């Protein structure tokens, strides 16, 4: 294994161990498409560097396989996140609020929440408060206005992000989900609604990308 330019060359993968120094967060491993053996070798490299291990979209059977080699590996089944935390995080951060439009959006919201948790953020969840019953959202305005940054996770037409942004001064990270009937086009309708938000202060990540939302919220909240 050769170390070059702050990465470890495994042949099949070049593990970016210098990312912690550059970005403040270690490289995060996206699991789909990788073999169990490759994931094991990548994980071992990161652990040997005494860095946090974060595995996104990790299926349970793969987690069981990896845990045999890494007994300290933990798993959030709803978020499909595996992790070993080695680096102590600062607790002097603001509040991040994670809002989901519906119950079906929760797995994506949980991915964002899990990323925030392991990066040392204080996060509160507010689920199933979509625009079909907007009074559910308005009943929680006290906590909504306390948040330093808000993640809004919504499928269907994705209108919730604009609504939330119009009520607060904090930045809003919008996450479109693939939840919805046929004309939602697997989340494309929500994505376009969020991109076309008339309320300033909304940024949008990719469809179902709870990880990206949590990562970005951590950067804002640092």
pTM for this structure? Answer: 0.85
- Is residue 209 a contact partner of residue 107, using CB atoms and an 8 Å limit? no
What does the alpha-carbon distance between residue 48 and residue 192 come to, in Å, rounded to a whole number? 43
Mean pLDDT by runs of 10 across the 222 residues of the chain is 68 89 86 95 92 93 95 92 80 86 93 90 92 89 93 92 93 94 91 92 95 93 83
Architecture of domain 95-221: 3-Layer(aba) Sandwich (3.40)
The counts of H helices and E strands in the chain are 9, 12
Would you state the pLDDT for residue 91?
A: 65
- Is residue 220 a contact partner of residue 149, using CB atoms and an 8 Å limit? yes
The 10s digit of each residue's pLDDT in 67-116 is: 999 999 999 998 899 999 887 666 667 899 999 999 999 999 999 999 99
Would you state the pLDDT for residue 3?
A: 44
- Is residue 45 a contact partner of residue 84, using CB atoms and an 8 Å limit? no
Nearest CA to 98 among 153, 162, 57, 159?
153
Nearest CA to 152 among 93, 102, 116?
102
Q: Where are the alpha helices (DSSP H) in the chain?
A: 19-23, 36-48, 60-69, 106-118, 135-138, 141-144, 160-165, 188-195, 210-221
For the chain, the domains span 2-84, 95-221
Tokens linked to 103:
């119950």
What does the alpha-carbon distance between residue 94 and residue 83 come to, in Å, rounded to a whole number? 23
């Amino acid at each position: 294994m050769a170390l070059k330019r702050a990465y470890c060359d495994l042949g099949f993968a070049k593990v970016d161990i210098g990312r912690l120094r550059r970005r403040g967060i270690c490289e995060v491993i996206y699991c789909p498409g990788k073999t169990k053996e490759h994931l094991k070798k990548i994980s071992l490299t990161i652990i040997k560097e005494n860095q946090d291990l974060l595995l996104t979209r990790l299926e349970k059977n793969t987690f069981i396989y990896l845990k045999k080699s890494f007994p300290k590996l933990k798993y959030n089944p709803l978020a499909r996140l595996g992790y070993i935390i080695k680096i102590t995080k600062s607790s002097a951060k603001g509040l991040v609020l994670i809002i989901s439009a519906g119950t079906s959006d929760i797995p994506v919201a949980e991915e964002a929440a899990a990323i925030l948790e392991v990066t040392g953020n204080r996060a509160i969840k507010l689920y199933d408060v979509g625009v079909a019953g907007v009074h559910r959202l308005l009943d929680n305005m006290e906590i909504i206005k306390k948040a330093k940054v808000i993640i809004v996770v919504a499928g269907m037409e994705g209108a919730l992000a604009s609504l939330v942004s119009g009520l607060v001064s904090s930045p809003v990270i919008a996450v479109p989900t693939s939840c919805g009937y046929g004309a939602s086009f697997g989340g494309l309708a929500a994505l376009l609604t969020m991109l076309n938000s008339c309320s300033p202060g909304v940024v949008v990540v990719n469809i179902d990308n709870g990880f990206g939302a949590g990562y970005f919220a951590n950067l804002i909240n640092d």
